[in-house]
Amino acid sequence: MSNAQPHMMGKDKKVILRELVKLHQPDCYIEIGAHRLKTTLMLAALMPVEASLLAIDLYELAPREELPPEEPPIGLAEAEAIMAGAGQARKRVLKANSRDLTPSDLPELHAARRPFVFIDGGHSAETSIADFRLITGSIHPEATAIVVVDDADMEGTVAARGEALAWAKGKGGVSFIAAYMLVLSQNPVQVSDPTQVPDPAEVPAESPVPSPSVSSSDP
Ligand SMILES: C[S@@+](CC[C@H](N)C(=O)[O-])C[C@H]1O[C@@H](n2cnc3c(N)ncnc32)[C@H](O)[C@@H]1O
């Protein structure tokens, strides 16, 4: 377990997220802690154009010590301009402290039947647990959902881990921990043919990808 700063998006994390999105073909993608929307747009390029996108962040320009100086925060206007580059028609950015949100703020998530949520915002225990409850409280009961919690090895995020794994197990989904990523699902995820999905981004094909069909217990 590490108490260090959140890990920024390395190639291995990108591979995991990209493979999961290609597998799941979401009808809704939500990222809490979208930062500069790099991951949002990378994944949007792999999703159906009918998918809805929602990128949540504080979007405050004040410097934050958890962010490296070469990746400073952006404001709402810049985030909206970046989001405009996504191919999907239904997309929005939401400037908010995620702890202040309720399920009614996420109507696209409740409407979705194949949502994919990436939780990568505040990494304190309070925020990690609040974000997880917000998301799982917003997912439609009949949806097949994938929820990824980033930096799952950090002290605050670990506080949410037991609840997160219990949620996935109770919902009949699968889960695994890839060192620093907790991947959960509500209902078993069906495997689609990834060779049918265009793959425009530059990620080395030989990078290892864990199987999402392996269950893991809370260490
Ligand atoms: C590690 S960065 C996210 C990196 C991004 N997901 C990516 O893949 O490029 C964490 C982000 O979470 C945001 N954040 C932190 N606390 C938050 C909160 N309570 N509500 C919303 N966003 C928050 C920060 O502003 C920052 O942009």
From first to last of the 219 residues of the chain, give the pLDDT tens digit: 444 566 667 888 899 999 999 999 999 999 999 999 999 999 999 999 999 999 999 999 987 777 888 889 999 999 999 999 999 999 999 999 999 999 999 999 999 999 999 999 999 999 999 999 999 999 999 999 999 999 988 888 888 888 999 999 999 888 887 768 999 999 988 766 555 555 555 444 444 434 443 333 322
Number of domains in the chain: 1
In 58-157, the DSSP E strands lie at: 91-95, 115-119, 145-150
Residue 33 sits in a domain of what CATH number?
3.40.50.150
For atom 19 of ligand 1, the residue with the nearest CA is: 97
In a domain, 66, yes or no: yes
In a domain, 215, yes or no: no
State residue 207's pLDDT score.
Answer: 40
Ligand 1 in contact with 127 (CB < 6 A)?
A: yes
Query: Which residue range is the domain that position 16 belongs to?
Result: 11-196
In a domain, 186, yes or no: yes
Ligand 1 in contact with 144 (CB < 6 A)?
A: no
- Candidates 34, 27, 135; CA nearest to 89 is 27
Question: Both tokens of residue 131?
Answer: 């974000």
194 Cα–ligand 1 center, Å: 29
In a domain, 166, yes or no: yes
What is the DSSP-derived secondary structure letter of residue 59? -
Pocket test of ligand 1: the residue of 57, 99, 106 to mutate, having most ligand atoms within 8 Å of its CB, is 57
First to last CA, the chain: 10
Ligand 1 in contact with 123 (CB < 6 A)?
A: no
What is the DSSP-derived secondary structure letter of residue 104? G
In a domain, 213, yes or no: no
In a domain, 1, yes or no: no
Quick check: 187 and 143 in contact, CB under 8 A?
A: yes
Ligand 1 in contact with 39 (CB < 6 A)?
A: yes
For atom 11 of ligand 1, the residue with the nearest CA is: 33
In a domain, 33, yes or no: yes
Residues whose CB falls within 8 Å of the CB of residue 196, separated by 6 or more in sequence, listed in order? none
Closest ligand 1 atom to Cα of 7: 1
CA distances from 218 to 152, 160, 183 (A): 11, 11, 12
122 Cα–ligand 1 center, Å: 6
In a domain, 2, yes or no: no
CA gap 79, 123 in Å, rounded: 21
- Whether the pTM exceeds 0.85: the reply is yes
